[in-house]
Amino acid sequence: MKKAFFIFLISFANVAFLLGCSDDEKVNPEDTLEEYIEAWETHEYDRMVATLHTQSIDLLEEQEWSLPERMGQVYEDLGVDQIQITYESRDFEEEEIDWEVTEELQYPIEITMATIAGNLRYETTITLLKKIEEDENDEEREQWYIEWHPSHIFVGLDSPTDKITVSAELPKRGEIVDRSGRELAVNGEVYEVGFVPNRIDDFDQATEDVARLFNMDVDRVRNLANAYPNNPDWFAPVQRMPLSDARLDDLLEIGGVLINRIPGREYQYGESLAQLIGYIGPITAEELEALEGEGYTSTSVIGKRGLESVYEERLRGERGVTIAVTDEAGNTKDVIIKNEAIDGETITLTIDAELQEMLANTIGDDYGAGVVMNPTTGEVLALVSQPSYDSNFNYLNMRDPRTEALDDINVLYERRFQYAYSPGSVFKPFTAAIGIEEGTLDPNETITITDKSWQPEGSNWGGYEVVRFYDHVTNVDLNTGMKYSDNIYFAQQALHIGAEKMESWAEVFGFEEPIPFEFPLYASNLANESLSSDILVADTGYGQGQVQMNVVHLSTLYTMFVNDGSVVQPVLLEDEATGEWWKEDVISEQTAAIVLDSIISVTNDPNGTAYRENLGYNRSMAGKTGTAELKDTRDSEDGKELGWYVALDYDEKDILVTMMIEHVEDLGGSGYVVDLVNEFLRLID
């Protein structure tokens, strides 16, 4: 069948070569050469076969393999996509070739191809052989065909029995460590738990006990334990688990269970860093298809979440590839390309793992987010979202015990430090700064506010009013408005500023633009579209309305109050420049000092919303509280409240803490968050 196939193709090619040729025209050998090269470059191997001399076809028949199949397989294995072949055309008239006696022509060619090991360039020769054939008029015509050579597949092939071998050397995945070198995601060891069936006294009981300990389906455990029914003395793995897993002792008491230590990824700080670090896992078919040509295989692992995913390109390294030619016996004849594996990078974060763990433990079972930052260098020392999963369980494909008590396990995967939320009154220092800069707010001016609720006189607000928490204070200046967190005062200041100026300053403050941070974060926004009404402007002044802020962005903006009006660049990597400005001289040094004094009153004045006696730590903290109400309607009695507190050391200027806790409506509002932040500050003092 193969020979008939070849003959058909050759006959078809002959017709194509002869078309358009008159009796006195000489066939140009380079027409055949061009056809062969074009088919080679476009991977149309059947077309290549159609140009071969019968001697070459017989040679391939003897080897009992098809050139199209062989070339296709070799190029697929080598990842060959683009091929470029060049040669120098010959001037037959100048060479004065005697066509009557010339039986062959040789063309040196240069081949360039892209492979999985990089670009390859080599030279070989194509020989054309003359053959006399009869045309449809029984007249003899000369024709030129290709003498095939193994080097037309790949460099170094001298014989049809030679083979190309490809071997890969996997790189070590890079590791992630904290600022002190503490291991956050490293190449370590894990336990592999399994059975040796012929050592089990009671198979049903043993498999049931393992299933119970791992919360697995017992039938699945039994199927895994029976993976090698013809070899009951072989180890059959069932589940991997972290070295720190407390179930180790119970597992060792089960007859027939064997536990090995094998290489694996270790996440030393588990739950407290999971939302930031993430985990790796086996590559999926969809991922493999999307990343075609980037060096992944069906057995690769890839970053699935967090920094393991964000830094995948830097962490995964480059695999080493060796392409060699071997003879029929498997002996290496020539090494064509040898690329050593390049291990992934070690990435050092500005994160302090101990601070991270303490902040995560402080938030505990609450739903919230926390940021710890050095306000003068911009280094993010902790970045927490609670509740969280444990990276070790996800990496090892284990059921996380935290999921058992949850109706919706998705809450474990919400990166709250990544999202934007209604900030409530922690926005007020920004309104104050804008008003001072615009000249609409005099910090020493006292405004008389007599009622608990307010709307502008003569407004068309209908029944809508701004409500403040305290109504016993009637004479309100900036410090009073800040320490009592007076919504009416800041609503009035926003109206004095006006919608246009508020929107312009939001742009200056970096709203609605990507936050310059290594971990992707949602942008903050002042309004869904624009501050289209006076009510919306007023509500924006005290952080309600449609304002949404990310906790990292919020923290970063607070740094201008201790940096003479400049906003520091937030950084997550140790090798990033620290102390660089994201936005320089955003507000004046004088404005920054005035606003700082006002938030010092929040913590130091006995009437301040964040004032506490007997703090238990020795720091000079300024701060601002905020409670954001999330209700379907203003009069609704039901609704969620977000509690906020931002605190920064205005003396040492070495720490800023931002915390947001959800569902504080029954916990005391932002006061609950103040107590949590103070608890954290006592731990680190």
Task: Look at residue 631 in the predicted model and tell me its pLDDT.
Answer: 65
pTM of the predicted structure, to 2 decimals: 0.84
Does 616 fall in a domain?
A: yes
Task: Look at residue 637 in the predicted model and tell me its pLDDT.
Answer: 59
Task: Look at residue 408 in the predicted model and tell me its pLDDT.
Answer: 85
Confidence of residue 598 (pLDDT cuts 50, 70, 90): very high
Confidence of residue 25 (pLDDT cuts 50, 70, 90): low
Instruction: Using DSSP, state whether 400 is helix, strand or coil.
Output: coil
* Identified catalytic residue from 272, 425, 524, 601: 425
Task: Look at residue 634 in the predicted model and tell me its pLDDT.
Answer: 57
Task: Look at residue 390 in the predicted model and tell me its pLDDT.
Answer: 95
How far out from the chain centre does Cα 649 lie? 34
156 with 182, same domain? no
User: Which uninterrupted H or E stretch holds 500?
Assistant: helix 499-508
Confidence of residue 140 (pLDDT cuts 50, 70, 90): confident
Task: Look at residue 96 in the predicted model and tell me its pLDDT.
Answer: 86
Question: Is the predicted pLDDT of residue 515 greater than 50, yes or no?
Answer: yes
How far out from the chain centre does Cα 605 lie? 45
437 with 322, same domain? no
Question: Is the predicted pLDDT of residue 21 greater than 60, yes or no?
Answer: no
pLDDT tens-digit profile of 425-481?
999 999 999 999 999 999 999 999 999 999 999 899 999 999 999 889 999 999 999
Question: Which one-letter amino acid corresponds to residue 328?
Answer: E
Q: Which of 642, 658, 677 is the last residue of a domain?
A: 642
Question: Is the predicted pLDDT of residue 116 greater than 90, yes or no?
Answer: no
Task: Look at residue 632 in the predicted model and tell me its pLDDT.
Answer: 57
Rounded average pLDDT over 507-529: 95
Q: Transcribe 250-287 into DSSP letters.
A: HHHTSTTEEEEEEEEEE-TTHHHHHHHH-EEEEPPHHH
For residue 425, indicate whether it is catalytic: yes
* H-state helical runs in 605-647: none
CATH code of the domain containing 186? 3.30.1390.30
Query: Three-state SS across 122-147?
Result: EEEEEEEEEEEEECCCCCEEEEEEEE
263 with 132, same domain? no
Q: Which of 347, 375, 391 is the last residue of a domain?
A: 347
Does 356 fall in a domain?
A: no
Cα–Cα separations (whole angstroms), residue 682 to 41, 351, 616, 619, 678: 71, 19, 6, 10, 6
The answer to whether the beta carbons of residues 465 and 503 sit under 8 Å apart is no
480 with 598, same domain? yes
Task: Look at residue 495 in the predicted model and tell me its pLDDT.
Answer: 98
Q: How many CA atoms lie within 13 A of 6 on its CB side?
A: 20
The answer to whether the beta carbons of residues 40 and 48 sit under 8 Å apart is yes
Task: Look at residue 17 in the predicted model and tell me its pLDDT.
Answer: 39
> For residue 573, what is the DSSP state?
B
Q: Alpha-carbon distance 269 to 266, whole Å?
A: 9
Does 205 fall in a domain?
A: yes
Query: What integer best gives the mean pLDDT of the chain?
Result: 92
The answer to whether the beta carbons of residues 544 and 628 sit under 8 Å apart is yes
| Residue entry with tokens 């101990």 | 354
Does 67 fall in a domain?
A: yes
pLDDT tens-digit profile of 356-415?
999 999 999 999 999 999 999 999 999 999 999 999 999 999 988 888 778 888 899 999
Rounded average pLDDT over 127-141: 85
How far out from the chain centre does Cα 183 lie? 20
Instruction: Using DSSP, state whether 627 is helix, strand or coil.
Output: strand
Task: Look at residue 282 in the predicted model and tell me its pLDDT.
Answer: 95
Question: Is the predicted pLDDT of residue 50 greater than 60, yes or no?
Answer: yes
Question: Is the predicted pLDDT of residue 5 greater than 60, yes or no?
Answer: no
Rounded average pLDDT over 313-337: 93
Q: Alpha-carbon distance 105 to 90, whole Å?
A: 10
Task: Look at residue 294 in the predicted model and tell me its pLDDT.
Answer: 84
pLDDT tens-digit profile of 236-251?
999 999 999 999 999 9
Q: Which of 160, 186, 201 is the last residue of a domain?
A: 160
Rounded average pLDDT over 256-276: 95
Report the chain's C-alpha Rg in angstroms. 37
Sign of the C-alpha dihedral computed for residues 314, 315, 316 and 318 taken in this order: positive
Describe the crossing of helices 2-18 and 54-63 by its angle, rounded to 10 degrees: 160
Confidence of residue 654 (pLDDT cuts 50, 70, 90): very high
Rounded average pLDDT over 656-666: 96
333 with 290, same domain? yes
- The burial class, CB within 10 Å (0-12 / 13-18 / 19+), for 233 is exposed
pLDDT tens-digit profile of 532-568?
999 999 999 999 999 999 999 999 999 999 999 999 9
Does 101 fall in a domain?
A: yes
Task: Look at residue 651 in the predicted model and tell me its pLDDT.
Answer: 97
112 with 194, same domain? no
pLDDT tens-digit profile of 612-644?
999 999 999 999 999 998 865 555 556 799 999
Does 171 fall in a domain?
A: no
125 with 236, same domain? no
Question: Is the predicted pLDDT of residue 1 greater than 70, yes or no?
Answer: no
Does 671 fall in a domain?
A: no
Q: Alpha-carbon distance 566 to 558, whole Å?
A: 10
The answer to whether the beta carbons of residues 71 and 83 sit under 8 Å apart is no
Question: Is the predicted pLDDT of residue 15 greater than 50, yes or no?
Answer: no
Task: Look at residue 97 in the predicted model and tell me its pLDDT.
Answer: 87
477 with 422, same domain? yes
Does 449 fall in a domain?
A: yes
pLDDT tens-digit profile of 202-249?
999 999 999 999 999 999 999 999 999 999 999 999 999 999 999 999
Question: Is the predicted pLDDT of residue 134 greater than 60, yes or no?
Answer: yes
130 with 244, same domain? no
CATH code of the domain containing 88? 3.10.450.100
473 with 332, same domain? no
Q: Alpha-carbon distance 184 to 95, whole Å?
A: 72
> For residue 156, what is the DSSP state?
T
The fraction of the chain above a pLDDT of 90, given in percent, is 81
Q: Transcribe 278-306 into DSSP letters.
A: -EEEEPPHHHHHHTTTSS--TT-EEEEEH
212 with 143, same domain? no
Range of the domain at 257: 176-347
The answer to whether the beta carbons of residues 141 and 135 sit under 8 Å apart is yes
Structure tokens at 428: 């007020």
Structure tokens at 139: 């007249």
pLDDT tens-digit profile of 267-319?
999 999 999 999 999 999 999 999 987 888 889 999 999 999 999 999 999 99
**CA angle, corner 565, sides to 561 and 567, nearest 5?**
85
Q: Higher pLDDT residue, 133 or 597?
A: 597
Q: Alpha-carbon distance 463 to 453, whole Å?
A: 11
CATH code of the domain containing 439? 3.40.710.10
Structure tokens at 405: 């008590």
pLDDT tens-digit profile of 154-183?
999 998 889 999 998 999 999 999 999 999
Count of domains observed in the chain: 3
Highest-confidence range of 2-11, 93-102, 266-275, by mean pLDDT?
266-275
113 with 196, same domain? no
